[in-house]
Amino acid sequence: MHLGQLPLTLLVLMLRGTSETCTSRPHINAVEGEPFFLKYCPLSPVHEPSTTKWFKASESDGKVELRSSSSPRITLHDYVLEFWPVELDDSGSYVFQRGNDTHDWKMNVIRRSKHSCFTERQVTSKTVEVGKALQVDCSHSYYQDLVHRTALYKNCEKIENNKNPSLKKNAEFKDQGYYTCMFFLHHNGKLFNVTSTYNITIVEDRSTIIPAILGPKIEHVEVELGTDVQLNCSAWLNEKDYIYWSFHRKDGQDPNEHEGEEIKIRTSEGKWHASRILRIENINKKNLNFSYNCTVSSDKGPDTKRFILLTKGRGDIPGHVFTRGMVTALVISGGILCLVIAGVIYRIDLALFYRHFTGRDETLTDGKTYDAFVSYLKGCGPAHGEERAFAVEVLPRVLEEHFGYKLCIFERDVAPGGAVVDEIHSLIEQSRRLIIVLSTSYMLNEVRYELESGLHEALVERKIKIILIEFTPVSDFTFLPQSLQLLKSHRVLKWKADKSLPYNSRFWKNLLYLMPAKTVQPRRGECEAEPVLAGSCP
Ligand SMILES: *[C@@H]1O[C@H](CO)[C@@H](O)[C@H](O)[C@H]1NC(C)=O
Ligand SMILES: *[C@@H]1O[C@H](CO)[C@@H](O)[C@H](O)[C@H]1NC(C)=O
Ligand SMILES: *[C@@H]1O[C@H](CO)[C@@H](O)[C@H](O)[C@H]1NC(C)=O
Ligand SMILES: *[C@@H]1O[C@H](CO)[C@@H](O)[C@H](O)[C@H]1NC(C)=O
Ligand SMILES: *[C@@H]1O[C@H](CO)[C@@H](O)[C@H](O)[C@H]1NC(C)=O
Ligand SMILES: *[C@@H]1O[C@H](CO)[C@@H](O)[C@H](O)[C@H]1NC(C)=O
């Protein structure tokens, strides 16, 4: 055994030794009042049995052989000399002899501290960096089997008391102090205690860190061909560590790739930070899909990060496709919007076209004779000449001759005389629509009966639909029966004089739309000219 093994032995003592420890140190301290032992460390395996002897050498008495009988506090077992307990006058030299081998120790018994639970000269010092693991494990490798209770003290204040107390935590500065393990053991009916004390000092982080590159281990960088890119690699590291880029290829280096200088700074907390740029100019296909590796080199082992360049939009929608898609979507939605607007504006034309296209005819099965009964202000005077002309001439010319409807115009279709009231009633019943040519004076006239009869049919029996034509602008509808005022506004058509005259005017289209669907071909013939509003009286 030589001195070089000393720290290892201490470490084993301090941590947890399961194997029995022998005493290899030549100079030994023991604490007064504690059980103590000396154990010989055999240098070579023992082959033949040989007698062992223990001696105590002192200046006054010389070399005296020790026997169990020489003191009640001494026990001998082959290689071991035990004291129960050791006392101050046990200080001195001890010799162990086996055959021709001898080993000797110099033992110094220290006076027990009166005011402390441990003896300052008998402490093991240990420094722990803040944040690192602090571990105090109370177990005694030699007396383990005899220990029945162990207490752990910090600065002589008990912090734990059980069979095997231990402390394990991340060190903080407040953890600094003396940690004493006190083992209680019985021997020959007496209670003894053995202490082992650690002087634990918490020191600052010595700032040897495990270097770490910031960010994910693999970073995909989106680039566009022909542009430049800077890959920035940065890391936390130690002062001596450094960052480098690997970008060399088997087929030689790409002249577009340039590694920058390492920039290293120390932060206010004393940590080191470094970054290094790799610049790639005028990116070409060769630069894509290639692992640019950034490595931090350190005693604590390297850390590496890979950068891989990808063209923009891979896996996502490429830019131009996206733009095209947006434009297409805008055009389509614009188109739909236009169609909707056009559909609203040309709703009537579309309905008429649809009617024409499908050839629907709702007049075939209802058994009615007329498509519409025209109710207007009768009588011929300068005040209502135009209304009459419109009802008797323009309406038939357009609806009958041009569009093939059949109208019932009382004045024209019914012979004078007879029961007027009954007749009007049955004619309205024979008609699919009631067209009322409305003017201010209309209500004052006898046509009122037609109106009321038609309204009854329309509103109560739901047999006829009413079409109101506002021939002259009617400002005040209050003279109309209330039921008529509720007529849907699209069933009220405004005659706009010359503007409404042509066959393709909005007025006629709206009127056709309100008229029943019919497939009868118009009686086209002599008069394809525009209808004329003459204002004549028979
Ligand atoms: C430990 O033993 C010593 C000596 O026998 C004694 O003076 C001391 O009080 C004991 N300590 C405890 C905590 O029992
Ligand atoms: C021990 O010493 C004696 C004489 O002193 C010698 O005869 C013997 O061989 C020695 N034994 C060993 C193991 O060296
Ligand atoms: C405990 O450790 C500190 C710091 O290392 C030291 O200053 C002190 O003297 C030590 N105490 C003993 C009793 O060894
Ligand atoms: C690289 O990144 C580090 C940390 O993010 C930053 O401090 C440094 O300024 C960057 N370098 C460049 C050239 O952008
Ligand atoms: C970077 O690292 C990866 C994986 O460790 C390796 O496959 C690749 O060849 C390296 N690239 C370079 C340029 O060294
Ligand atoms: C990039 O590499 C992956 C696999 O490593 C491969 O599937 C892919 O085709 C490569 N792309 C290009 C553009 O080389």
- Ranges of each domain in the chain: 3-110, 120-203, 212-311, 315-345, 356-514
Asked if residue 133 has pLDDT above 80, the reply is yes
Instruction: Give which of 198, 191, 164 is closest to 13, Cα–Cα.
Output: 198
| Strands 166-170 vs 133-137: parallel, antiparallel or unpaired | antiparallel
- How far apart, in whole angstroms, are the C-alpha atoms of residue 98 and residue 139? 31
Instruction: Give the per-residue pLDDT at 434.
Output: 86
Asked if residue 404 has pLDDT above 60, the reply is yes
Same fold, 3-110 and 356-514: no
Q: What string of H, E and C letters represents the secondary structure of 363-420?
A: CCCCCCCEEEEEECCCCCCCCCHHHHHHHHHHHHHHHHHHCCCCEEEHHHHCCCCCCH
Ligand 5 pocket member 289 (CB < 6 A): no
Ligand 2 pocket member 102 (CB < 6 A): no
Is 82 considered catalytic here?
A: no
Instruction: Tell me the CATH number for domain 3-110.
Output: 2.60.40.10
Least confident of 16-25, 121-130, 204-213, 345-354: 16-25
In the structure, what pLDDT confidence band is assigned to residue 347 with cuts at 50, 70 and 90? confident
Work out the average pLDDT over 467-480.
Answer: 73
Work out the average pLDDT over 88-111.
Answer: 92
Q: Under CATH, what is the fold of the domain 212-311? A: Immunoglobulin-like (2.60.40)
User: In 155-297, which ranges are E strands?
Assistant: 157-162, 166-170, 177-187, 190-203, 212-213, 218-223, 229-237, 242-246, 257-259, 263-266, 272-280, 291-297
Instruction: Tell me the CATH number for domain 120-203.
Output: 2.60.40.10
| Strands 212-213 vs 101-110: parallel, antiparallel or unpaired | unpaired
Asked if residue 351 has pLDDT above 70, the reply is yes
Using an 8 Å Cβ cutoff, are 375 and 434 in contact?
A: yes
Instruction: Give the per-residue pLDDT at 369.
Output: 85
Instruction: Give which of 273, 253, 251 is closest to 263, Cα–Cα.
Output: 273
Nearest CA to ligand 4 atom 6: 275
Q: What is the DSSP string of 52-110?
A: EEEEEEETTTEEEE--GGG-TTEEEETTEEEESS--GGG-EEEEEEETTEEEEEEEEEE
Residue 240: CB partners within 8 Å, gap ≥ 6? 298, 299
Asked if residue 1 has pLDDT above 50, the reply is no
Question: What spacing in Å lies between the alpha carbon of 371 and ligand 2's midpoint?
Answer: 150
In this structure, which CATH number among 1.10.10.60, 3.40.50.10140, 3.40.50.300, 3.30.450.20 belongs to the domain 356-514?
3.40.50.10140
Q: Which of 219, 234, 267 to mutate to test the pocket of ligand 4 (most atoms within 8 A of CB)?
A: 234
In this prediction the pTM is 0.42
**CA 112 → CA 86, 115, 378, 470, distances in Å?**
11, 9, 142, 127
Asked if residue 206 has pLDDT above 80, the reply is no
Complete edge-to-edge strand list for the sheet that includes strand 123-129: 123-129, 190-203, 177-187, 147-154, 157-162
Residue 413: CB partners within 8 Å, gap ≥ 6? 427
Of the candidates 59, 450, 461, 470, the residue annotated as catalytic is: 450
CB-defined site of ligand 6, < 6 Å: 288-289
Instruction: Give the per-residue pLDDT at 14.
Output: 42
Instruction: Give which of 366, 375, 377, 518 is closest to 430, Cα–Cα.
Output: 366
- How far apart, in whole angstroms, are the C-alpha atoms of residue 224 and residue 313? 9
Work out the average pLDDT over 494-513.
Answer: 84
In the structure, what pLDDT confidence band is assigned to residue 379 with cuts at 50, 70 and 90? low
Work out the average pLDDT over 295-313.
Answer: 90
Nearest CA to ligand 2 atom 1: 100
Instruction: Give the per-residue pLDDT at 527.
Output: 42
Instruction: Give which of 527, 536, 531 is closest to 500, Cα–Cα.
Output: 531
- How far apart, in whole angstroms, are the C-alpha atoms of residue 530 and residue 36? 137
Instruction: Give the per-residue pLDDT at 296.
Output: 94
In the structure, what pLDDT confidence band is assigned to residue 487 with cuts at 50, 70 and 90? low
Q: Which of the residue ranges 168-177, 314-323, 454-463 has the most confident prediction, judged by mean pLDDT? A: 168-177
